[in-house]
Structure 1
């Protein structure tokens, strides 16, 4: 970690500011489950959504592009290229770094990284900061935004130019709202249903019941009877065992069967609710109930357009804003390559390429590049279908024919 003692020390973990206390949130839901950003990850639907979005973003190629003679090309010689594409610091790859920050963003609504500036004026490393203990605050003296962070119980203040901050949905534009905090009740209900199912099966998949005895039993006898009954019949391994009831003892099942309580439907609905929160198509988190062969491909494209694109734009704009000077922004831009995610089936792609080649706005090498094929020198030229004719020329030819002249040449 590059963070040094040069930063002014402020509050400690035992005495944080009120803004930090408000930011942390937390609490028990109506369902009785305590839901935080960490515990929410133990719920399979949340884990699946966070994992699929963060892995997708982190695995996309991230390039730095520059302008040369009016054309866009990869700026491989720029110091930022390797930092973004390969290794943001000496301890992690670009994928690990981006996935870590995106997980923070999806759980807490914000992600932060410290920018280590080199002597040449370019960033030379990016170090993740814990989003659980980092937050923006306006300095009372300078009125500028600074960032408070707590490391090993000690508080530090970092100037804004040293922090890469990507906020999610926000009400004030400088601090994102936690999706888990906002949707705590929804996630809590799903976690409660999951726990109910686990307890249901741990009790032998039977609702509660009562043992009736015609006589009066002493307290020690009652405790002994309950213990022996549970030891004999509780748990999946004891299902379907034969119970021998003596001395007029009878067993009566009580409670509502889970089918009547729509237990399974509740669990399915909560999975859909979490998918709705993160705008993830259900089939991408293994919910194939409503998926069909014809709609999965379009849902995949919608995932790129409506789920991933807003996150990618947030990243691209934050990287451009925080890591480049005003002059560099005129000539350089960081962009994710999403072409691979937008590919349709083979026939659809080839039909689209055929139209692009016939219309002359793509060359053969541009098509081969999209298919990750080696370029051929003879395929650099743009072609156009020779049968196309201007409408104006056709109308003029008709007029010439009417006047006894020739038609189209």
Structure 2
């Protein structure tokens, strides 16, 4: 902590204390084809974008990230290492582990990059990870293929840091250095969603689509028009269903939804599906159950873990290994995604039963997966009788 304070003077790297920083925070990623500037701030105002980012962030945030130690074929949690407890209790003194993992995902989903300052001791030990605002960090690849980061801190202070001082997580990239921003590359889809949302809001705010109207072939006198206007204004609330008293040949007609209105609703549905596709989030996870059934939701949820979350999990694991563990080849970070992969109790029982009968798992292994305490004599691995030779194990046969 002392080293970081001496270098930068503060831990809060996202203080908005000038118009320039406020502009940078809400900086546009480009004009969409719908004529609307899309920024991380207003993109999150789109319900589907907010829902997708929240689903991804909370799904990753709740998964345990363990520091593992490998000795030959033996693998175990390295609970004696300080980094293990950093990942369990929080990377710094003001964030929990879940909040930090959620912040990583929010930065990746909105900006395509996450940066954290690695605060080390004089011996190189990682003391804490301090997240930086993505718009305040500019990575640069030097001619000698080393990477440096120009970081703008509070009050406009700037420092150039080496790659060893920055934890940089990125989405897939075209230059090997900068992650591609989903907001930037999906701005046209989000701009159309924003445009239709704004159009719908103004439609209701201005009462642009009345439920009906009056028609007549005659011209109303000013007293008739004013009397009709005053009478009709009273037909609201409890009086909405009262009978109208018409005069001057007036007839009431009911309006129906036009083809333009129907197309407007279809456009909103399509944009919702397109944004879900951009983030690879099943529609039912953002409350779109139109095409969901009881038979396919479980499979969609498993598909979400395998094809949506796993790329993020492996990306985070490998970057943590590279930036935090350096040359230590005996340790690695690993997410425990078993909780998300669990099916129904009947399916789990059949799965565990087959693995126990095959000798792949012991009863205590199963109990550990189910968060249960081990039982006595539960570390036995069975060998099916059809795998014995003359009724004996291969190593005991003579």
TM-score when scaled to structure 1? Answer: 0.79
User: Per the alignment, do residues 257 and 367 of structure 1 end up closer, same or farther by CA in structure 2, a change over 3 Å counting?
Assistant: same
1:59 to 49, 57, 62: 62
Residues 355 and 182 of structure 1, relative CA distance in 2, 3 Å threshold: same
Q: 1:129 is matched with which residue?
A: 132
Moved more, 369-378 or 42-51: 369-378
Secondary structure of the corresponding residue to residue 83 of structure 1: helix
Q: C-alpha offsets along residues 42-99 of structure 1, whole Å, 9 cap, x if unaligned?
A: 1110001000101111110111011246411110111211112211001111111111
1:266 aligns with 2:239: no
Question: Which secondary structure state, in structure 2, belongs to the residue aligned with residue 344 of structure 1?
Answer: coil
Counterpart in the other structure of 1:192: 195
Q: Which residue of 1 aligns with 2:362?
A: 363
Deviations 1:266-298 (A, max 9, x none): 111111111100001111111111111111111
Kindly report the root-mean-square deviation, in angstroms, between the aligned alpha carbons of the 2 structures.
3.7
Contact 2:220 2:248 in 1 (8 A): no
The residue that corresponds to 1:164 in the other structure is: 167
| Counterpart residue number, 2:99 | 96
Alignment of 1:133-282 (within 5 A): 133-139=136-142, 144-154=146-156, 155-204=158-207, 206=209, 232=233, 257=258, 260-282=261-283
1:251 to 1:66, Cα distance in 2 relative to 1, 3 A: same
What SS does the corresponding residue of 1:169 show, helix, strand or coil?
coil
Distance (whole Å) between structure 2 residues aligned to residue 162 and residue 234 of structure 1: 69
Question: 2:35 is matched with which residue: 32, 35, 46?
Answer: 32
When the two structures are superposed, what TM-score results if normalisation uses the length of structure 2? Answer: 0.81
Instruction: Specify the alignment match of 1:221 in structure 2.
Output: none
Q: 1:239 to 1:267 in 2, by over 3 A?
A: farther
Match of 2:373 in 1: 374
Secondary structure of residue in 1 paired with 2:177: coil
Q: Contact between 1:316 and 1:334, CA under 8 Å: does it hold in 2?
A: yes
CA contact (8 A) 1:58 1:96 kept: yes
Give unmatched runs, 5+ long, in structure 2. 9-17, 391-398
* Counterpart Cα distance in 2 of 1:159 and 1:216: 81
Q: Which residue of 2 aligns with 1:287?
A: 288
Provide, for residues 102-134 of structure 1, a one-character-per-residue CA deviation record: whole Å limited to 9, x for no partner: 101111111111100023321110001001222
CA contact (8 A) 2:356 2:382 kept: yes
Matched, 1:112 2:124: no
Instruction: Indicate the residue corresponding to 2:303 in structure 1.
Output: 302
